[in-house]
Amino acid sequence: MKLDVDVLRYLSKDDFRVLTAVEMGMRNHEIVPSELVDRIARLRHGGTYKVLKNLLKHKLLHHDSSKYDGFRLTYLGYDFLAIKTLVNRGVFTAVGRQIGVGKESDIFEVAKEDGTILAMKLHRLGRISFRAVKSKRDYLVHRSSYNWLYLSRLAALKEYAFMKALEEHGFPVPSAVDCNRHCVIMSLVQGYPLVQVKQLQNPDMVFEIIIGLIVRLAEHGLIHCDFNEFNLMIDDNENVTMIDFPQMVSVSHRNAQMYFDRDVDCVFKFFSKRFNLSFEEITDECDESDSDMNENGRPCFSSIAKSAGSLDKELSASGFTRKDQDDIEKFTECVSEKDSDGTENSDGGSFPDDCGANSSNLESLHLVDLEELSMMGGNKEDNMEENRHSSEVVECNGPETSEADEKVDDQDLNESDDELMKRLNKQRRRAIAAAHGGRRALASRNSYKDKGGKTSHNSKIQKQLSGW
């Protein structure tokens, strides 16, 4: 849908009030009823329906009467709400031409009051070219129901957070300015997409810079997942800038190695086809990633260590769950206890008494022991007490008393086996009765009537009279 900002001049406060009312109603309604829009907007003299008609004319709302009479926001109406909010904040004052179209976003030029040109990215998930959002993105997390406007808002918030954090850590990314709804305002990159570049003065140097960015991201705990020539900008001085970050994941993601290798393969294939680079002759000349390269100069995911930071933890990137954070906190607590207590094992090494992994293993073993003992019909604590008691008796009284205790134990085991067999037979009889429909039927309200249509009380009286 084409963004025509000239319509903004002719929209009044009541129009934006009704648009906001529809947006609020879409939090828990797929189609917002007309009565609910009227109650939320609270316009005087019932002017809501007149405003709705005006918004429908400009295609800011969509009317749906399939199930009931209601309205929902379109992407154009959502755009107007975001632009109006950012203009009121003073972020920009004018919207210019469209400079980019992606499978899930549109990019426009915007101008500030002092003439500075910025870039406005409007996320538009749900297009025909990209609708597999639920399987390819993790915006929903645990949610089952969604709409495209809400998913676009989540994508914008995620990209703004990643862009802000990467900028603070010195990565070549656009400067994040502001974010509202599905709209992200960033600095305009003075360059061209790498896919449009046909010739480079130093392709080897540019290639090493791009591969170094992939490795550096992994050292910070992040993987781009869409690192290709379409999301790399290069200027006249051959400076590289990364863009497009909503799909970034953590190195702890279950498919992290696959995403990392895919990003590396995209760069290798592009430079081999476009600039005719032969990577068999490339030596390990990278500045900071000598240990992360193999013989052909290809980075190895398994050899990259998270030594520069944990941006995936700070930003809660996909793949870095709350469970991972809890495990890290447990591990740090164990290490701190180890440093404070200084407990040592028999081999001379120091280790903490309680650790997350060891405790989980011990708990699993404990549960297995309980299950085995329950199958034998006994209890773990009782058996431990009996074993301890028998060992003490053997030490005190000698072999004669131990033989007597063994007889007593055999009798107890036989009694427990008999009790176990009784319980099993009882459960088996219940199962057979339930399978054959042996359960008693619930008494209905007509159960007091017999086949003759007379009540049971009357039939008893008749029997008594006939007996007399």
Q: Which residues are catalytic?
A: 226
Contacts for 294 with CB less than 8 Å, ≥ 6 apart: 300
Give the separation between CA 254 and CA 7, rounded to whole angstroms.
Answer: 47
199 touches 212 (CB < 8 A): no
Give the separation between CA 104 and CA 126, rounded to whole angstroms.
Answer: 8
Give the separation between CA 126 and CA 150, rounded to whole angstroms.
Answer: 11
Burial of 159 (0-12, 13-18, 19+ CB in 10 A): buried
Contacts for 152 with CB less than 8 Å, ≥ 6 apart: 75, 78, 123, 124, 125, 126, 181, 182
User: What is the token pair recorded at 333?
Assistant: 């607590």
Closest listed residue to residue 16, CA positions, set 93, 83, 114, 101: 83
User: What are the b/e assignments for 231-247, b being 16+ CB within 10 Å?
Assistant: bbbbeeeeebbbbbbbb
User: What is the token pair recorded at 411?
Assistant: 């009798």
Give the separation between CA 62 and CA 31, rounded to whole angstroms.
Answer: 9
Closest listed residue to residue 417, CA positions, set 391, 378, 448: 378
CA angle 10, 14, 20 (to 5 degrees): 105
